[in-house]
Structure 1
Amino acid sequence: MRIDLHTHSTASDGTDTPAQLVRNAAAAGLDVVALTDHDTTRGYAEATAALAELDRGLTLVTGAELSCRLDGVGLHMLAYLFDPDEPELARERELVRDDRVPRAKAMIDKLRELGVPVTWEQVARIAGDGSVGRPHIAEALVELGVVPTVSDAFTPDWLGDGGRAYAEKHELDPFDAIRLVKAAGGVTVFAHPAAVKRGQVVPESAIAALAAAGLDGIEADHMDHDPATRTRLHGLAGDLGLLATGSSDYHGSRKTCVLGEFTTDPEIYGEITRRATGAFPVPGAGGRAGA
């Protein structure tokens, strides 16, 4: 059973529509895929509808990747199978989304001060109907020949945390995020917690504090973790009683990762579904709901 619990669509900063994502997940031989767009659930309906068109079984796990910050360090919290209509969590997601446009415009202004001829119109075109974010600005920098790849824009020279063109946005305290997701019946997993190539990461003591506050798991197997880091994170998960997941963090053509590049053990997936009470996995035609 192949399970990928971290993907993005055009509802945020991926390049596949939710329907295309579902079709591509099935074509990649996945049995379970989670749709975890940044701070939004807008892709759920389209992704769910696409399941009925498949000629093989695929189960959809609904989720989101919540933008958080702890002691000045940005981090992402994967939330699975929560009630999308729970008002307090919905209100926080809306606050984050609403702050994305002014933040993007502030970063564009900083880039222009650095001599980069990027425009809001260019970034808005790239974002389309998605929630605008740094990857869209990064793609604009690629179009302009400023950097060779999207990943190369996430450095101190450009859009990385604290970088020359970085601007802050509204973000959740991760302890609040855990509380809100649990109140909405969901499960929380700390995404790529040791992705040092993205910038500063929180110490293991902070992960331990989050675990004590109810964090369910950490994403150990991820493209931004080298083999030694993955081994260390699996050990940390064991020490803290956390679930250890694996995921692709697929963004379509915007990043080099591919669907199913890293996967989650079926027993871990089963435990996630057992803990969730806000929503349930959605099996497609001929699909199976998993553990």
Structure 2
Amino acid sequence: MRIDLHTHSTASDGTDTPAELVRNAAAAGLDVVALTDHDGVGGHAEAIAALPAGLTLVTGAELSCRLAPSPSGEAAVGLHMLAYLFDPLEPELARERELVRDDRVPRARGMVAKLRELGVPVTWERVAELAAGGAVGRPHVATAMVELGVIDTVSDAFTADWLANDGRAYVDKHELDPFEAIRLVKAAGGVTVLAHPLAVKRGRCVSESAIAALASAGLDGIEVDHMDHDEPTRARLRGLAADLDLLTTGSSDYHGSRKTCRLGEYTTDPEIYGEITRRATGAFPVPGAGG
């Protein structure tokens, strides 16, 4: 069984529509795929309607979070929390997701303004066009930079020179406290997994002590097998997960043609997937019916 628990569609910053994504997932030989667009669930209905026979959809979202500075002196750090199989209508979590989504537009406009100050002639009109009504994010800004020849790939924008956390053109947005995110997702019957926790090229990463604190607060797992983790990092994370009794997942973080990762490039062990579904009470995986 091949299981990919982290993908994006045009409902956020991917290039496949939700329908295209599930069809492409089936074509890639996946048995289970999770649709985890940033801070929203707007692509789920289309994905379910198009779900091919033989493919199961896990509904989810990737929540934007920021860990506050610690009393010991650790700086604030942004992180992403994968939330699976929560009740999308639970009002408190829905309200927080809406606050984050609403702040994405002024944040993207701010990044465009900073880039223009740095001599990059990106326009808000082009970034909005690339977002095409989905949740606008850094990959849309990065794509506009690629089109201008400023960088070669979208990934090249996620450096200190440009859009990485605390980069020259980075702009903060409203983000959830990760402890509050865990509480909200749990209250909505969902399961939480910390996405790419040691993706150092994206900027400052969450510390192991912070991951331990999140585990104590109810975090279910960490994403280990990911394109932004090298083999020593994966081994380190597996050891940490064992110490903290956390689940370990593997995922592509697929964004269509916007990034180089392929559907099913990294996968999750079926036993881990089974445990995620056992813990969830807010929603259930959706089996394909030939849509």
TM class by smaller structure: over 0.9
Q: Equivalent residues in 2 for 1:81-230 (5 A)?
A: 81-230=85-234
Q: Equivalent residues in 2 for 1:13-24 (5 A)?
A: 13-24=13-24
Gapped regions of structure 2 (runs ≥ 5): 70-75
Which position in structure 2 is the counterpart of 1:64?
61
User: What is the root-mean-square deviation in Å for CA atoms of aligned residues?
Assistant: 1.0
Q: Which letter does structure 1 place at the counterpart of 2:100? A: V
- Report the Cα distance in structure 2 between the residues aligned to 1:204 and 1:118, rounded to whole angstroms: 37
- Equivalent pairs counted in the alignment come to 284
- Report the Cα distance in structure 1 between the residues aligned to 2:176 and 2:229, rounded to whole angstroms: 24
Following TM superposition, the consecutive aligned residue runs of length 4 or more in structure 1 with deviations greater than 2 angstroms are: none
Q: Which letter does structure 1 place at the counterpart of 2:12? A: S
TM-score using structure 1 length = 0.96
Match of 2:257 among 234, 250, 253: 253
Note if contact 2:222-2:246 (Cα within 8 Å) is conserved in structure 1: yes
Offset from partner CA, 1:86-115 (integer Å, 9 cap, x none): 000000000000000001111111111111
Which position in structure 2 is the counterpart of 1:50?
50
Note if contact 2:50-2:290 (Cα within 8 Å) is conserved in structure 1: no
Note if contact 2:225-2:250 (Cα within 8 Å) is conserved in structure 1: yes
Q: Aligned pair 1:28/2:28, yes or no?
A: yes
- Report the Cα distance in structure 2 between the residues aligned to 1:256 and 1:201, rounded to whole angstroms: 22
TM-score using structure 2 length = 0.96
Offset from partner CA, 1:224-250 (integer Å, 9 cap, x none): 000111111111111100000000000
Note if contact 2:3-2:264 (Cα within 8 Å) is conserved in structure 1: yes
- Report the Cα distance in structure 1 between the residues aligned to 2:218 and 2:157, rounded to whole angstroms: 34
- Report the Cα distance in structure 1 between the residues aligned to 2:102 and 2:148, rounded to whole angstroms: 27
Q: Which letter does structure 1 place at the counterpart of 2:65? A: C
Which position in structure 1 is the counterpart of 2:72?
none
Partner secondary structure for residue 13 of structure 1: coil
In the TM superposition, residue 155 of structure 1 has moved relative to its aligned partner by 1.0
Q: Which letter does structure 1 place at the counterpart of 2:280? A: A
Partner secondary structure for residue 80 of structure 2: strand
In the TM superposition, residue 131 of structure 1 has moved relative to its aligned partner by 0.5
- Report the Cα distance in structure 2 between the residues aligned to 1:286 and 1:144, rounded to whole angstroms: 41
Match of 1:74 among 71, 78, 81: 78
- Report the Cα distance in structure 1 between the residues aligned to 2:290 and 2:110, rounded to whole angstroms: 48
Match of 1:262 among 263, 266, 287: 266
In the TM superposition, residue 286 of structure 1 has moved relative to its aligned partner by 7.1
Partner secondary structure for residue 110 of structure 1: helix
Offset from partner CA, 1:133-159 (integer Å, 9 cap, x none): 110000000001111111111111111
Match of 1:236 among 235, 240, 263: 240
Partner secondary structure for residue 159 of structure 1: coil
Q: Which letter does structure 1 place at the counterpart of 2:184? A: L
Offset from partner CA, 1:153-212 (integer Å, 9 cap, x none): 111111111111111000000000000000000000000001001111011000000000
In the TM superposition, residue 116 of structure 1 has moved relative to its aligned partner by 1.2
Partner secondary structure for residue 234 of structure 2: helix
- Report the Cα distance in structure 1 between the residues aligned to 2:179 and 2:9, rounded to whole angstroms: 26
